[in-house]
Structure 1
Amino acid sequence: MFENDDASPLPRGGAERFRFYPLGDRAIVVECSESGGAADWSAMAQLANHVEANRERWMIDIVPAYTNVTVVYDPVLLWREESETDASGWSMPLTGNVPYELAEQRLLDVINRERSSRTGSVRGVEIPVCYGGEDGPDLAEAAAYAGLTEVELCRRHAEADYQVAMIGFMPGFPYLIGLPESIAQPRKALPRLRVEAGAVGIAGGQTGVYPLASPGGWQLIGRTPIKLFDAERGEPSLLRSGDTVRFVPVEKPPIGDEQVVAVPNDGESGGRQLRATAAGASDDEAGFRVRKPGLHTTIQDMGRAGYRSIGLPAGGAMDSYALRVANLLVGNEEAAAALELTLVGPELAAQDDMLIAVCGAYMAPTIDGEELPMWRPVWVRSGAVLRFGSALSGCRAYIAVAGGIGVPAVLGSRSTYTRAALGGLGGRRLAAGDVVPCGAAGAAAASRWAAAWMAALAARPGSWAAAPWFAQPLAYGGGSDEHGIWLRAMPGSEFGQFSEAARTAFYRERYRVAPDSDRMGCRLDGSPLTRTTHAELLSHGVTAGAVQVPPGGGPIVLAADCQTTGGYPKIAHVAGVDLPLLAQAKPGDTIRFRHVSLEEAQRLELARERELRRLALAIRCRLP
């Protein structure tokens, strides 16, 4: 046990005490006016804890960083809370304050509320580390750089007291400050392609622990057997922002399933040691049998809310519009889980009679060799085989099934996040031989609307039948032409740090989608963008749609599985209403950017939401 001082007082006061600025059209950033650089981390942790304790429904996630706090919000929900509704339950005049202005007002009110007595509680956490050898492959190099022996470097590292300034990069990854200056290290010139889970590393004046296996460029000096992130624990991340950490040298990792993971000093546990037990994933049965998995087929819903503060991305469907419409067409809740197909689709055998809908990219879908019509309800008889080819237009398609997909929810979502191996079927893409639990087989009955259409379509001859009507895919109208895919984007937080030529070129360049694009980010090939300053940015909150520019100058548009924090400058931010278009951009496609203001971006999103509400009403009125 060791003493923990409470974090610094939470700044309070009027708008002059804080700076607010937008992060795209779905997040707001707040920082203290009297900024002290990285030293602000303690006040930011307190501010984040205070906002979390007073969280309102329109707030989705709260992400503390070194110098600011990012609040991700739902602009539609915020607007509806501030608007009167009509007889249909929906009212959205397109005049007056936009959601961002409401978010500023409401967030300032939250900040100025009476501080909770629990806001400042922090814990002390001891982490065992096996230094050197195969557990610390960079120890000798790090010691030589510091002019110390390996033993002395380890002693100094273990004797220091650290505090968690922020968590980001990946689920549970702590950025720890307090590293003695004498052992500070530069990042590796050539990052490793794989760093094992538990690796303890040093970079600059920070130390950290890799919770999951991943690429990384920190100098590795040891390894801990402790799980820093475990979705099966009541609190998935071992560490919170503001916690105090001490490393304890051990000869070899403890053996056994049960491990000591934390020694709290919050005045509530009486010094008890907290323990965590590893838990395995479980498999479900029924629905679709996978004959061929396709290139990258996963289970996705609308994603996880509330976990960005511990480094877990929101994830969910890349094209939320196609997912929502597909679910509406089979009578599901819009956020229900469905299959996401990428570039090359699967071959699936129906194990039960079911009502499905396919929306999104065109992958030449067939049922028993006959063309499968898209954007409408389709009844499929047990034994029928669905086949999907390569994407002829677009990149991702979605298969929704009446009753949804019945895999267990993990941290509030069924979405697959492969980097942390959670959600979906064992946290991975589908494989041949898998059985995907769907509809009643997944313990969820179809809605009365869906049951009526199933009964009507089942009366027709053959192994399948489709409704005679379809939903017009409005999200893609005007989003592409002979010049490529057009994405509306507002200037980013660091737009002014780029040269005038780069700022102009960004909105004129025809970028090509690079082959290594994925669910984390869409990489763009084109003329490099020049930044006028080379100053490093401290890691800060980021969201899908942010256009980051690494030192090489090639922009990357962050996508659904993007990291929660990042340190690259942002030249722009794609409007949320156009993220479905980004999701449908495949390698080789051309992307161009069109300037849009924050106000217009939010009005476009509100208008899109109104279109979806009208579509939902129209579908419910379509009875056989």
Structure 2
Amino acid sequence: MIEVLSNAALATVQDLGRTGSLRYGVGTAGAMDDLALAAGNLLLGNDPGAAGIEVPVFPFKVRFDADCAFALTGADCAAKLDLEPLLPWWAHRAHAGQVLTLGLPQGARRASRAMLCLPGGVDVPEVLGSRSTQLRGSFGGHEGRALRKGDVLRAAEPGRVCRTGFGLVPPSLALPLECDGLVALRVLPAAEYEAFEPASREAFWAGEWRITAQSDRYGYRLSGAALCPTAPMELRSHGIVPGVIQVPHSGQPIIQMRDAQPSGGYPKFGTVIEADLWRLGQAPIGSRIRFIEANWDEAVGALEQKDAWLAKVARMVALHRSGPMGMAA
């Protein structure tokens, strides 16, 4: 088991999300970077959807109270086990009493969230089919809240033998997508897209957008050229999902994220495709992003490419668990 030694804000237990409950008014929650979670689990031989610890604020420290394997994925945060530097996207082993420290994210492709995975996943109760923390409803995860100093978490299979000492090429390198040196996201035009002025539609694709400080797991608020409708719109509340881009009266878009409420009344300009949501989840607050217009076939193809990468990771990890150690994919 591990004990949290720091009061890092908003570190939570997350799996791949709570599906099937939107009709009851319950959002999906889940890891902001599902690729990081799935890959970390695969490194340990877990089910890809097992629960892990998502860390968005640093430094973050935990102490291992027993010998335990673990995997680190997501942001490269200069991790150390006691004083020993650790590689990101790698499977490691800790001994009882050792302290894991995650520092500030670094590197040219700086990401914003780290994922800590344990053998069998983090052992917390399942609520509505998921172990993800739903902060707004205060349920799921560890007592329905963010982790704080003194919390103790257990691995579901602490005694399982996991091979360590190998890792992965991060998906930011294996599945790159940039535009003019910025993180790029593919977007499908949505229901009210044609109701915006042609100049606004053009500016959306041509311009850069900054992720403002008023952004969190519920939604990313952007700053850029105002998007103006051709006429005022008053809409009834309707269903929304993570990735939907809504435009309030200010004209500054909001991208719904993993903790988004299941309904809203702002016009829907577009939707970030499912295959690119992990890229957005790792984009730091204050960074700039670009959008690329996509069609349905391209969105499906991107999802297939993402699934193929995970399948390759699973094959390579299985190979390395029975062969030489080293870089897996």
Pairwise TM-score range, normalised by the shorter structure: over 0.9
2:183–2:279 Cα contact (<8 Å) kept: yes
What is the distance in 1 between the residues matched to 2:229 and 2:180? 31
Query: Alpha-carbon deviation of 1:493?
Result: 1.1
State the TM-score, normalizing by the size of structure 1. 0.50
Q: Does 1:413 align with 2:111?
A: no
Deviations 1:134-182 (A, max 9, x none): xxxxxxxxxxxxxxxxxxxxxxxxxxxxxxxxxxxxxxxxxxxxxxxxx
The structure-2 alpha-carbon separation of the partners of 1:478 and 1:539, relative to structure 1 and needing over 3 Å to count, comes to same
Q: Does 1:342 align with 2:61?
A: no
Aligned residue number for residue 562 of structure 1: 260
What is the distance in 2 between the residues matched to 1:618 and 1:288? 29
Give the number of equivalent residue pairs.
318
What is the distance in 2 between the residues matched to 1:480 and 1:291? 37
Give the AA of the match of 1:517: S
Deviations 1:5-45 (A, max 9, x none): xxxxxxxxxxxxxxxxxxxxxxxxxxxxxxxxxxxxxxxxx
SS of aligned partner of 2:75? strand
Aligned residue number for residue 152 of structure 1: none
Give the AA of the match of 1:425: H
1:483–1:590 Cα contact (<8 Å) kept: no
Deviations 1:47-79 (A, max 9, x none): xxxxxxxxxxxxxxxxxxxxxxxxxxxxxxxxx
The structure-2 alpha-carbon separation of the partners of 1:593 and 1:605, relative to structure 1 and needing over 3 Å to count, comes to same
What is the distance in 2 between the residues matched to 1:617 and 1:386? 28
Aligned residue number for residue 219 of structure 2: 521
Deviations 1:227-271 (A, max 9, x none): xxxxxxxxxxxxxxxxxxxxxxxxxxxxxxxxxxxxxxxxxxxxx
Query: Alpha-carbon deviation of 1:614?
Result: 2.0
What is the distance in 2 between the residues matched to 1:419 and 1:575? 25
Q: Does 1:351 align with 2:65?
A: yes
Deviations 1:350-393 (A, max 9, x none): 01111111111122111112211111211111111001122231
Q: Which of residues 473, 483, 488 is equivalent to 2:170?
A: 473
Aligned residue number for residue 285 of structure 2: 587
The runs of 5 or more residues in structure 2 that have no matched partner are 324-329
Query: Aligned runs of 1:69-468 on 2, under 5 Å?
Result: 287-392=1-106, 393-440=110-157, 446=160, 451=161, 453=163, 467=165
SS of aligned partner of 2:210? strand
Query: Alpha-carbon deviation of 1:452?
Result: 5.2
What is the distance in 1 between the residues matched to 2:40 and 2:56? 16
Query: Alpha-carbon deviation of 1:474?
Result: 2.5
Deviations 1:84-118 (A, max 9, x none): xxxxxxxxxxxxxxxxxxxxxxxxxxxxxxxxxxx
Give the AA of the match of 1:499: E
Give the AA of the match of 1:474: P
Query: Alpha-carbon deviation of 1:478?
Result: 2.3
The structure-2 alpha-carbon separation of the partners of 1:452 and 1:574, relative to structure 1 and needing over 3 Å to count, comes to closer
Runs of 4+ in 1 over 6 A off after TM superposition: none
Deviations 1:260-289 (A, max 9, x none): xxxxxxxxxxxxxxxxxxxxxxxxxxx111
Which structure has the higher relative contact order (CA within 8 Å, separation 6+)?
Answer: 2
Query: Alpha-carbon deviation of 1:570?
Result: 1.2
1:297–1:345 Cα contact (<8 Å) kept: no
Aligned residue number for residue 107 of structure 1: none
State the TM-score, normalizing by the size of structure 2. 0.93
What is the distance in 2 between the residues matched to 1:610 and 1:425? 32
Q: Does 1:618 align with 2:316?
A: yes
Query: Alpha-carbon deviation of 1:424?
Result: 1.1
Give the AA of the match of 1:422: F
2:9–2:57 Cα contact (<8 Å) kept: yes
What is the distance in 2 between the residues matched to 1:452 and 1:525? 45
SS of aligned partner of 1:303? coil
What is the distance in 2 between the residues matched to 1:413 and 1:374? 26
1:475–1:580 Cα contact (<8 Å) kept: no
SS of aligned partner of 1:362? coil
What's the % identity of the aligned pairs?
35
The structure-2 alpha-carbon separation of the partners of 1:481 and 1:528, relative to structure 1 and needing over 3 Å to count, comes to closer
1:300–1:416 Cα contact (<8 Å) kept: yes
Give the AA of the match of 2:248: P
Aligned residue number for residue 303 of structure 2: 605
Give the AA of the match of 1:404: G
Aligned residue number for residue 150 of structure 1: none
SS of aligned partner of 2:206? coil
Give the AA of the match of 1:472: V
Query: Alpha-carbon deviation of 1:339?
Result: 0.2
What is the distance in 1 between the residues matched to 2:179 and 2:69? 34
What is the distance in 2 between the residues matched to 1:452 and 1:508? 47
